Amino acid sequence: MPTPREIRRRIRSVRNTAQITRAMEMVAASKMRRAQQHVLATRPYAERIRAMIGDLAAMADTEEQARYPLLARRPIQRSQIILITSDRGLAGAFNTNVIRRAIQVMNERPESLENIDIVTIGRKGRDFLTRYGRPLVASFTDVGDYPSLESIRPVVRIATDDFVAGKVDAVYVVYTRFINTLRQVPEVLQVLPIEAPPGTDEVTDYIFEPSPEAVLQALLPRFVEVQLYQALLESIASEHSARMVAMRNATDNARELVSELTLTYNKARQAQITREVTEIAAGAAALG
């Protein structure tokens, strides 16, 4: 049985921990809200680009489509996987889940592991993969909580350059989709070649300047960019909500522990008092 003094010390320490986790929960909650707004703000642009590509691609037949390097479908011999994790931990199973999903994707690909190039965004993914001896084509860290579109461009450049040069035949991004505060799902998205969405037929009467081909040519890289950007923003929103929930659980656990310890402390204190009283009584009896 620990002494009351030991228990008291323990209670104080657990209380401090609870205070810290509570603070982290609040920080994560506010960052999560901003990240969510950020995701929403990118949607109008992404949706229009997507719709325009769909309509324009529908105007071109398969043969014409093959002339656009970013639409080129080849038999897949080498692929590239972009893994988005966070820089920091203490976010529950957030990183574990997305890394596990990436490993699963790699194992399921028909091409062998040596034929899969990996690019990581976030320290956790990088650390994990290097620990397991997987070489990385590139790794990016410190994108921050509110990254600009500019910050994703180097990643986009690697993906498109490698794809256009024929170094890889497909590019996938593994990221965490934000569904709601309690649910974030790791997902895989094919970035390249671009799968043109179905057209709406609305676009046929448009005047194009300089030409439909030039417009499509300019749209395609933007689409890659915005897709990766959205994947990154969704991952960030997911990270913060995962951390928020993890920290809330930690706070709850700490509080529970405090109440248990308080009970133990009271019992120990009472036992001590009883013992002292018995000792005094026994002493008095011995004297009398």
Partner 1 sequence: MAKLSVEVVTGERVVFQEDDVDMVVVPGADGTLGILPRHAPLISLLSLGEMRVIKGGQEQSLAVFGGFVEVAHNRVRVLADTAERAEEIDLARAEEARKRAEARLGRAQADVDLIRAEAALRRSIIRLKVGRRSRGRQPVGPQQELGNL
**C-beta closer to partner 1: residue 157 or 248:** 157
CA–CA dist 114, 196 (Å, integer): 29
CB of 43 to partner 1, least distance (A): 9
The answer to whether 14 contacts partner 1 (rule: CB under 8 A) is no
CB of 226 to partner 1, least distance (A): 5
**C-beta closer to partner 1: residue 102 or 224:** 224
The separation between CA 244 and the C-alpha centre of its own chain, rounded to angstroms, equals: 13
CB of 242 to partner 1, least distance (A): 24
Q: Footprint of partner 1 on residues 117-176 (CB under 8 A)?
A: 148-149
**C-beta closer to partner 1: residue 136 or 149:** 149
Work out the number of other CB atoms within 10 angstroms of the CB of residue 99: 22
Q: Footprint of partner 1 on residues 201-230 (CB under 8 A)?
A: 202-203, 205-210, 214-215, 218-219, 222, 225-226, 229
Rounded to the nearest 10 degrees, the angle between the axes of helix 94-108 and helix 123-131 is: 50
In order, the DSSP letters of 95-140 are HHHHHHHHHHHHHHSSS-GGGEEEEEESHHHHHHHHHTT---SEEE
CB of 53 to partner 1, least distance (A): 11
CA–CA dist 212, 58 (Å, integer): 11
By CB under 8 A, name the one of 27, 46, 90, 105 that touches partner 1. 46
Which residues lie below 8 Å from residue 90, measured CB to CB, with a gap of 6+?
A: 24, 243, 246, 247
Site residues (CB under 8 A) for partner 1?
41-42, 44-46, 48-49, 52, 148-149, 202-203, 205-210, 214-215, 218-219, 222, 225-226, 229
